[in-house]
Amino acid sequence: MRQIEIVQAGIESLEMLMEWRMEVLRHVFVLPEDASIEELERANLRYYRQQIPQGGHVACFARVDGETVGCGGVCIYEEMPSPDNPNGRCAYLMNIYCREPYRHQGIGRVIVRWLVGQALDRGIKKIYLETTDSGRSLYKSVGFQEMKDMMHIVY
């Protein structure tokens, strides 16, 4: 079995973070290769430049045999404290992605567990994510549960 290595991506990895983020966006949102996403790219660059140094975002890469094959991130934020979350700290997993030849080999699971560990290390126990149908079984396998009573609005 090949060794899966998780490497935290700091601000020094900004160029690589951006390359992977744009790949994820193109794949997840099924954007054509020639689609103009310059404004979205600038917004993501601003986000990384602000949030990584402040600790509001923790990103990682997954490597197999020295090759980067996947990525993931966790956004850390606060909500009003409540009985189910007394410290108000939350984490939102996102950008979890493996390139096609490396899927279904446990890499995504290692990424998710590493990201959850990052949240837990920061005292965060309320952890969310959104999923596609293809990712649902992975997230369930590491303990995520479907939520009811949630709604959202998109303008």
For the chain, the straight-line distance linking the first and the last C-alpha, in angstroms and rounded, comes to 46
Give the E-state strand segments of the chain in sequence order: 4-9, 57-64, 67-78, 89-98, 126-129
Per-residue pLDDT for 1 more than 70?
Answer: no
Phi–psi pair at 79, nearest 5 degrees: -125, 175
> How much of the chain, in percent, has pLDDT values that exceed 70?
99
- CA 107 to chain centroid, in Å, comes to 13
Output Rg (C-alpha) for the chain, integer angstroms. Answer: 16
What's the pLDDT at 84? 92
How does residue 67 score in pLDDT terms, banded at 50, 70 and 90? very high
What's the pLDDT at 152? 82
Average pLDDT over the chain, rounded to an integer? 95
Q: pLDDT digit string (tens) for 34-44?
A: 888 899 999 99
Q: pLDDT digit string (tens) for 106-121?
A: 999 999 999 999 999 9
What's the pLDDT at 34? 83
What's the pLDDT at 127? 97
Assess contact for 145 and 103: CB atoms under 8 A.
no
CA distance 138 to 144: 9
